[in-house]
């Protein structure tokens, strides 16, 4: 949609000839921005509720920096995943307020003055080795303006550690559980809370875990769903969508 057509559409809304709902429907299908190597979907958030995010593997540093800049120019929050400090340093030359989340291997830039969601997401890891994937989930949810609490290294090898956090778990609107090995933690958490649990299997651990394939696929607890191996990003996105539809969990009886 060019400037003339957009001006016409806004004028029709102002004059009452086109409803706000009809205008939003039209805007959802605005063209993308075309680069030589990428097509940037600036209106994904309007259409899907989730913004365009930069997946860095396979891209050159120059490509990442340019895509980051094009997204940031729109005034939205920007997230680049699976990246490194060298790329961050290039981005920071243009956006010094950007943050490098080392454990999550992500670059985040918050520009939107949006109030965080009323309810919160809990991100839980079984072991310290699972924290990088858990951090990717946390950073993703927070760039989507979600409130997040983290509970790390509370796996079933020492179940008393997890039980110490029942109040925090039960007050969350959705729980992300990150675990390797047999992934039993997701089933345990699923038996403690009355909200959706998103299980994220990780590719670490001893034994025949088959790189994460054996973890969490056979949960004995209802209300547990599973994303792909090491995919903290998708878990953060799904949790944000769920939390937006939820009200804060009440602990009153």
92-127 pLDDT per residue, tens? 999 999 999 999 999 999 998 777 788 999 999 999
Q: For the domain that residue 217 is a member of, what is the CATH number?
A: 3.40.50.1970
| Lowest mean per-residue pLDDT among 44-53, 70-79, 82-91 | 44-53
Is residue 52 domain-shared with residue 142, that is, in the same domain?
A: no
Last residue of a domain, one of 59, 74, 109: 109
**DSSP classification of residue 149:** E
Contact present, 141 and 236 (Cβ < 8 Å)? yes
218-247 pLDDT per residue, tens? 677 888 999 999 999 999 999 999 999 877
pTM above 0.75, yes or no: yes
Query: Is residue 234 in some structural domain?
Result: yes
225, β-bridge pairs: 198
Is residue 136 domain-shared with residue 228, that is, in the same domain?
A: yes
Residue 173 CB neighbours (<10 A): 24
Q: Which domain holds residue 60?
A: 29-109
199, β-bridge pairs: 177, 226
Is residue 105 domain-shared with residue 137, that is, in the same domain?
A: no
Count of domains forming the chain: 2
Give the torsion through C-alpha atoms of 55, 60, 63, 69, to 10 deg: 70
> Which one is predicted more confidently, 133 or 51?
133
Per the structure block, which two tokens stand in for 130?
């699972």
Contact present, 119 and 249 (Cβ < 8 Å)? yes
165-215 pLDDT per residue, tens? 999 999 999 999 999 887 789 999 999 999 999 999 998 876 656 666 666
Is residue 133 domain-shared with residue 216, that is, in the same domain?
A: yes
Q: H-helix or E-strand containing 23?
A: helix 20-27
Is residue 225 domain-shared with residue 168, that is, in the same domain?
A: yes
Confidence of residue 253 (pLDDT cuts 50, 70, 90): very low
Is residue 152 domain-shared with residue 58, that is, in the same domain?
A: no
pLDDT confidence of residue 76: 83
> Which one is predicted more confidently, 192 or 22?
192
Is residue 72 domain-shared with residue 99, that is, in the same domain?
A: yes
Query: Is residue 114 in some structural domain?
Result: no
Is residue 91 domain-shared with residue 145, that is, in the same domain?
A: no
């Amino acid at each position: 949609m060019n400037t003339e057509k957009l001006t016409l559409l806004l004028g029709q809304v102002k004059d009452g000839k086109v409803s706000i709902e009809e205008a939003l429907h039209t805007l959802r299908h605005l063209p993308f921005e075309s680069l030589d190597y990428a097509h940037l979907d600036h209106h994904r958030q309007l259409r899907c509720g989730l913004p365009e995010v930069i997946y860095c593997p396979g891209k050159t540093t120059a490509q990442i920096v340019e895509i980051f800049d094009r997204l940031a120019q729109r005034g939205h929050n920007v997230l680049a995943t699976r990246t490194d400090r060298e790329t961050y340093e290039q981005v920071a030359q243009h956006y010094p307020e950007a943050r490098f989340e080392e454990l999550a291997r992500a670059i985040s830039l918050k520009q939107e003055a949006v109030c965080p969601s009323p309810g919160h997401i809990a991100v839980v890891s079984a072991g310290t080795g699972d924290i990088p994937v858990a951090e990717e989930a946390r950073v993703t949810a927070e760039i989507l303006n979600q409130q997040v609490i983290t509970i790390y290294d509370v796996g079933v090898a020492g179940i008393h550690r997890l039980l110490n956090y029942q109040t925090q778990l039960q007050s969350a609107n959705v729980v992300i559980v990150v675990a390797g090995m047999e992934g039993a933690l997701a089933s345990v958490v699923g038996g403690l809370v009355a909200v959706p649990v998103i299980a994220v299997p990780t590719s670490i651990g001893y034994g025949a875990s088959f790189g994460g394939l054996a973890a969490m696929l056979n949960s004995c607890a209802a209300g547990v769903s599973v994303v792909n191996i090491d995919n903290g990003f998708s878990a953060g996105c799904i949790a944000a969508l769920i939390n937006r539809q939820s009200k804060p969990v009440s602990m009153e009886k």
